[in-house]
Amino acid sequence: MSTKNSYPLADIGRSNPIFSQIRSTVETAFYGNNMTHITDVATAYKLATQDPGTVKTDLPIYRPTDLGLPEDAKMLVANTGKVVGRTAQARRILGNAGVDEADMAGRLRQAIYASRQQQFIKTDVFVGLDEDFIVQAHLAVPEGFANNLLSYMLNFQPLTAAYKKMFADSVAYPEGDIYIYADPTYHDPDYPDGLAIFDPKHNAAAILGMSYFGELKKSTLTLAWSIAHRHGYVSCHGGLKAFHFKDKQDQVFAMFGLSGSGKSTLTHAKHGYKYDITVLHDDAFVINRKTGRSVALEPSYFDKTNDYPMTSNETKYFMTVQNVGVTLDANNRKVLVTEDLRNGNGRTIKSRYASTNRVDKENAPINAIFWIMKDDSLPPVIKVDDPVLAATFGVTLATKRSTAENIIGDVDRDALVIEPFANPFRVYPLSEDYHDFKALLEEQHLDCYLLNTGFFGDKKIPKEITLGALEAIVNESTEWESFAGLDHMQNLKLADFPVDYDNRDYRKLVAARLAIRANFVDQYQHSNNDQLPHEITDVLMKLHKQLLQ
């Protein structure tokens, strides 16, 4: 068994590191008289169709019985209110500075007590789709939020007979199952924008006052990534695809970027069917540090609907849909209004059948990492050939905020921000991620590339340029030139995006962006108990100095 949810009596108590105050509080709620256990997707679907806010469209779900759904299942729409994205400011992680376990435990007890008269529904899923890494997770939500429960069961892996056997035969970890208690109706008076309590060392969380489904998905992944990190894996918020060949080594590319960066587009691109391509996932996977092999954490895709009008073939694979409009077509059928017309960040749980070349485990070892940036000082593609510098650009990954985030306060969405390894869901020290990625780059002899999918100067970089660059890398037909004379950095020569390395203003701009990265590291060192290695700042300042010579 991979993770545990039952124990010999002698193992129950303070001496067992699986238990904690928060975990015990969360898990206990799952056994209350107000909890109804939903064991299969079909029952969850029936409940979701009965929720007051549900819109049952006339659009059939593709291959419904293969997904555990009724044969006549239709796409369901469930919309939230003002908030249609994740609220990062609501996260309180035990172990972080200023987060008091006793205080959080008291607030959680009050939330559970206040909702004791409310009926809840709960379910179980697997996270991780191979015997090498598969853990069990449990979710509880109030009645009236069955759409979120259904989406959860469709996003992760329901407990089918085949996956129960896989779990039974899997690598055993000394960890407890994941428990997520969620109550969108309870609002802590001191946290009006919501409260998400994480006890990452004990695989438990509570999501209070927030109804956006993404909070449930990412909280589960947060804890699963934390388990993986503790047991020899690099945890990845990104996409992974493989190019397979008969006459040379397979090319396995991992792409890291925030929502809206283009990682899903790049991951799923078919490249005109010129290659034998498999896709592991576009959002969540783990890489074995010793073997370089990768395992997907989810069978489905939580995708933006913005790029899919009703004429798109991709809508065929939608199952549940959140925060989109509904209207009638010429045949008087209830259909979707996508393209973010109703609000930003419309979302869908899209089935695994959207990717005809899908795999759940990539046996070929990874051989290249791509950091997806939105930094207008960078040309479309830069190659980095030093593990320290490559990991440094990962820890200082620069991008723009996306509509997937519920930003509180006066924040400029267009400002350049640093999101290390494109993973805002890390609950362990950043330095550990840095060392993991650096070791992976060194030991697996990985190539590393910076992809700018935004603007270079005032010129937009079209996705065709980026996709063409990927193909050139696969074909080994690239032509590189030194990037501004900087050590260990080469620019991909592209006729449409020439770089004037002698332009003093341009060199100052690149230097300024490196300074932003160095400043981020400096601020991190002064505001966290965790300390990043000095080699990160050293390599950034060395490049900065070279640019201004």
User: For the chain, what is the total number of helices (H) and then of strands (E)?
Assistant: 12, 30
Of 186, 196, 162, 179, nearest to 66 (Cα)? 162
Q: Which residues contact 388 (CB under 8 A, 6 or more apart)?
A: 438, 535, 536, 539
Which pLDDT score is estimated for 413? Answer: 42
> What HEC string does 431-499 produce?
HHHHHHHHHHHHHCCCEEEEEECCEECCEECCHHHHHHHHHHHHHCCCCEEECCCCCCEEEECCCCCCC
Percent of the chain with pLDDT over 90: 93
Which pLDDT score is estimated for 406? Answer: 53
CATH 3.40.449.10 location in the chain: 9-55+82-231
Q: How far is CA 438 from CA 2, 41, 103, in A?
A: 27, 41, 37
450 and 285 Cβ atoms separated by less than 8 Å: no
Neighbours of 37 (CB within 10 A): 12
pLDDT tens track for 404-446 = 445 445 444 446 789 999 999 999 999 999 999 999 999 999 9
pLDDT tens track for 178-195 = 999 999 999 999 999 999
Of 174, 63, 145, 137, nearest to 298 (Cα)? 137
The mean predicted confidence, pLDDT, of the chain is 95
Q: Which amino acid is at 410?
A: D
pLDDT tens track for 307-333 = 899 999 999 999 999 999 999 999 999
Query: For the residues 470-488, what does the mean pLDDT come to?
Result: 97
CA distance 295 to 79: 32
138 and 219 Cβ atoms separated by less than 8 Å: no
CA distance 81 to 212: 9
Which pLDDT score is estimated for 201? Answer: 97
Neighbours of 30 (CB within 10 A): 17
CA distance 248 to 298: 30
Q: Which residues of 461-487 are buried (b: 16+ CB within 10 A; e: fewer)?
A: beeebbbbbbbebbeeeeeeeebbebe
Of 223, 221, 191, 187, nearest to 94 (Cα)? 223
Which pLDDT score is estimated for 407? Answer: 47
Q: Supply 408's token pair.
A: 């509180």
Is 3.40.449.10 the CATH number for 9-55+82-231? Answer: yes
Which pLDDT score is estimated for 411? Answer: 46
Q: Tell me whether strands 381-384 and 489-492 are parallel, antiparallel or unpaired.
A: antiparallel
Statement: residue 258 has pLDDT above 90: no
Which pLDDT score is estimated for 56? Answer: 98
CA distance 258 to 245: 30
Rounded to 5°, angle at Cα 218 from 214 and 224:
155
Which pLDDT score is estimated for 415? Answer: 64
Statement: residue 149 has pLDDT above 80: yes
pLDDT tens track for 388-415 = 999 999 999 998 644 444 544 544 444 6
Burial of 458 (0-12, 13-18, 19+ CB in 10 A): exposed
Q: Which residues contact 65 (CB under 8 A, 6 or more apart)?
A: 71
Q: Supply 216's token pair.
A: 């449930």
Topology, domain 236-298+359-498: Phosphoenolpyruvate Carboxykinase; domain 3 (3.90.228)
Which pLDDT score is estimated for 400? Answer: 61
CATH 3.90.228.20 location in the chain: 236-298+359-498
Phi, psi (rounded to 5 degrees) for 447? -80, 155
Statement: residue 280 has pLDDT above 60: yes
Which pLDDT score is estimated for 412? Answer: 45
pLDDT tens track for 344-367 = 999 999 999 999 899 999 999 999
Place of tokens 């004990």: 202
H/E element holding 460? strand 459-460
Q: Supply 3's token pair.
A: 């993770």
Place of tokens 């007979």: 161
Widest CA span of the chain, in angstroms? 72
Which pLDDT score is estimated for 1? Answer: 58
242 and 364 Cβ atoms separated by less than 8 Å: yes
Q: How far is CA 125 from CA 141, 156, 222, 521, in A?
A: 14, 6, 15, 38
**Residue 261: pLDDT band with limits 50, 70, 90:** confident
Query: For the residues 467-488, what does the mean pLDDT come to?
Result: 97
Q: Supply 22's token pair.
A: 């928060």
Statement: residue 255 has pLDDT above 60: yes
197 and 131 Cβ atoms separated by less than 8 Å: no
Q: Supply 262's token pair.
A: 């283009």
